[in-house]
Amino acid sequence: MATTARQSTLLVIPSIDIKDGKCVRVVQGIPKLAEANYPNDPVEMAIIWRAENAKCLHVVDFDGAWHSSTKNLRIIEEMIKAVVIPIQFGGGLRSYERIRNAFEMGLYRVVLGSVAVTDPDLLQKCIEDFGSEKILVSLDVLNRKVLIGGRKEQSALSPVSLALNLKLMGITRLVVTDVERNGLMLGPNIELLSLIAKKSKLKVTASGGVSGYEDLIKLQKLKEDGVDSVIIGRALYENKFACQRLWRVAEIGTII
């Protein structure tokens, strides 16, 4: 009896956004204080997502991104110790020392944004020293242009042109965020994600806009284009997936 290979599913990566040592939710690139149903403690949130069977976490330090602050690094270290799954981290990593220190802390991958535009030599050195699989580049897109400086400045580059340049440098994966949809649960920008993935032939992690299960089905259809994972924040925090309650019951008492 003939069998067909099971289609691989999207990897869902919970997002933990940090400002002033607390979890925040991000709306169009602007962090806001988390609502009452969001735990304030990022370490607690990391443990919760691990208990709910997350295979990876995406952590963003907005104090680092906006002010080059290092005040949240102690919390990041506690998160690394609290869970045994990989953590990818971004926010304010604009020097070789900061990037090297991130790996020395035990972070699995770093997510770079501004330096891809402002300091390609630094990006190239990081790829050579740490390996392309350890370096992700985040394309924060608004009005078809890439934002830099903690999403506060608009560059002159289109996401496709930047993606093609990054491929030549050795980058293998991008995180693509439609900033206009970020945190509003308006659905992912399927057209943008498909365009970047098809043109660049790079692996793409989608970010921004996911509102529930139906959006995951839409993203699943982009697997052949190269979109194989998705970062989700608000929709997970606000229990927009019916299976979340089942996860909690099944995994209670098994927090790592």
Statement: residue 244 has pLDDT above 50? yes
Q: Does the annotation count 178 as an active-site position?
A: no
pLDDT of residue 211: 86
Catalytic residue among 17, 61, 178, 215: 17
Query: What's the Cα-to-Cα distance from 124 to each of 95, 215, 250, rounded to whole Å?
Result: 12, 35, 44
**What are 47-82's pLDDT values in tens digits?**
999 988 899 999 999 899 888 999 999 999 999 999
Mean pLDDT of the chain: 86
Catalytic residue among 63, 140, 178, 228: 140
DSSP, res 5: P
pLDDT of residue 123: 98
Total Cβ atoms within 10 A of residue 216? 19
For residues 231 and 185, the model is more confident at 231
Q: What is the mean pLDDT of residues 129-157?
A: 91
β partners of residue 137: 112, 174
Q: Does the annotation count 140 as an active-site position?
A: yes
pLDDT of residue 36: 45
**What are 179-219's pLDDT values in tens digits?**
887 666 788 999 999 999 999 999 999 998 898 889 999 99
pTM for the model stands at 0.87
**What are 18-35's pLDDT values in tens digits?**
999 998 877 655 655 545
pLDDT of residue 249: 41
Alpha carbon 241 to chain centroid, angstroms: 19
Among all chains, which residue has been given the structure tokens 């927009």?
240
Statement: residue 164 has pLDDT above 70? yes
Kindly list the domain boundaries of the chain, sorted by start residue. Answer: 11-248
Third-level CATH fold of 11-248:
TIM Barrel (3.20.20)
Largest CA distance in the chain: 61
The amino acid at residue 214 is E
Helix 73-82 × helix 96-105 angle, to 10° = 30
